[in-house]
Amino acid sequence: MKLRTKSHTSRRTGKRAFTLAEVLAALMLMAIVVPVTIEALHTANLAGEVAQRKALAARLGERLLTENIVAQQWNQTVQNGNENVGPYQFKWTMRNDPWNQNTTGPAVVNGSTINSAGVHQLSIDVNFTAQNKNYSVHLSTLIDTTQQH
């Protein structure tokens, strides 16, 4: 009986390497995909940051409108200010204008029917920056000036 042993001849062992064409194709694919992915992450980051700051700006604007109505300080034509919320700075401008809504009937404010001549629109613009771009949130409400003392 003959024993067979593996011969260590120059046969290939089945190992295979990438060809130059495959390496170049992979590098070209990476050169296309990586910048697109980075830009998508940058856009998503900006959108998240803007959404967070818009929510803060809206809460700040709502608070300032409410404070001015309750304290009856809304009667000034224009008010300006700066406000810090955490590490973020917001600039705001509040305006009080007569309500020029062209209606054929009486106006309804907070469920009450009123003469539209006594209605004023109190508006606030809250401005902020996110990643060196300017953004703004605009809020407004109607005030019945005939019931203010």
For residue 114, pLDDT over 70 is answered with no
pLDDT at 71: 85
**Can you name the residues that pair with 97 across neighbouring β-strands?**
121
Q: How confident is the model at residue 120 (pLDDT cuts 50, 70, 90)?
A: confident
Residue 88 to residue 52: CA distance in whole angstroms: 11
pLDDT at 76: 75
Torsion of CA 73, 75, 77, 80, to 10 degrees: 10
What does the pLDDT average to over 82-88?
90
For residue 88, pLDDT over 60 is answered with yes
C-beta neighbour count of 118 within 10 angstroms: 16
pLDDT at 127: 96
For residue 30, pLDDT over 80 is answered with yes
Sketch the domain layout of the chain as residue ranges. 21-147
Phi/psi zone of residue 55: left (φ > 0), alpha (ψ -120 to 50 degrees), beta?
A: alpha
What does the pLDDT average to over 82-99?
91
pTM of the model: 0.67
pLDDT at 137: 96
